[in-house]
A and B are shown apart, each in its own frame.
Chain A
Amino acid sequence: MNSKITFPELIDAVATATNTSKRVSETFLKEMFAQISESLKKGESVKIKRLGTFKLTSVDARKSVNVNSGEEIEIPAHKRIVFTPEKGMADAINMPFASFETIELSDELPEEELKQISESDDESEEIIAESLIAEEIAEPIAKDEEHEEAPVIVEPKQQEIEEIAHEEVSEPEPVIELEDEVAAIDEPIVANNSFKKGFLWGFVSAIAISFIIVSAFAFVNGLSSNNISQDAITPDTVMTVKAIAPKPTKVLTDTVTKKMFLTTMARKYYGDYNYWVYIYEENKAILKNPNMIEPGTIVVIPDAKKYGIDKNNPESLSKAKSKSYIIFKQFE
Chain B
Amino acid sequence: MDNKTLIDEIAKSMGRSKKDVTMLTDALVSVIKERCGGMDSIAIPGFGTFEPKKKLERVTVHPSTGKKLLIPPKISLTFKASALLKSKLRDA
Contact = CB atoms under 8 A, between A and B. Distances in A.
Interface of A: 1-7, 10, 13-14, 17-18, 20, 24-25, 27-29, 31-33, 35-37, 39-52, 54, 56, 78-81, 83, 85, 89-90, 92-97, 100-106
Interface residues of B, number: 61
A92 B37 contact: yes
B1 A46 contact: yes
Given A47-B1, A104-B70, 11 more contacts: A1-B39, A4-B49, A17-B27, A32-B24, A32-B25, A46-B6, A50-B26, A83-B50, A100-B72, A103-B70, A106-B67
B50 to A, nearest CB: 8
Contacts of B31: 10, 13-14, 17
Q: Binding site of B, secondary structure by majority: helix, strand, loop or mixed?
A: mixed
Given A33-B44, A41-B88, A100-B72, A81 B79 contact: yes
Given A4-B41, A50-B29, A85-B76, A28 B3 contact: no
A35 B3 CA distance: 11
Nearest to A40: B89
A39 B68 contact: no
Contacts of A83: 50, 77-79
13 contacts: A1-B39, A5-B42, A18-B23, A27-B14, A28-B28, A33-B46, A43-B92, A49-B25, A78-B90, A102-B70, A103-B70, A104-B68, A105-B70
A90 B77 contact: yes
Contacts of B79: 52, 54, 81, 83
Contact of A90 (B42, B49, B76): B76
Contacts of B41: 2-5
Nearest to A7: B45
Interface of B: 1-3, 6, 9-10, 13-14, 16, 20-21, 23-33, 35-50, 52, 57, 59, 67-79, 81, 85-86, 88-90, 92
A48 B75 CA distance: 20
Nearest to B91: A41
Nearest to A12: B31
Given A31-B10, A35-B10, A44 B1 contact: yes
Contacts of A18: 23-24, 27
A90 B44 CA distance: 20
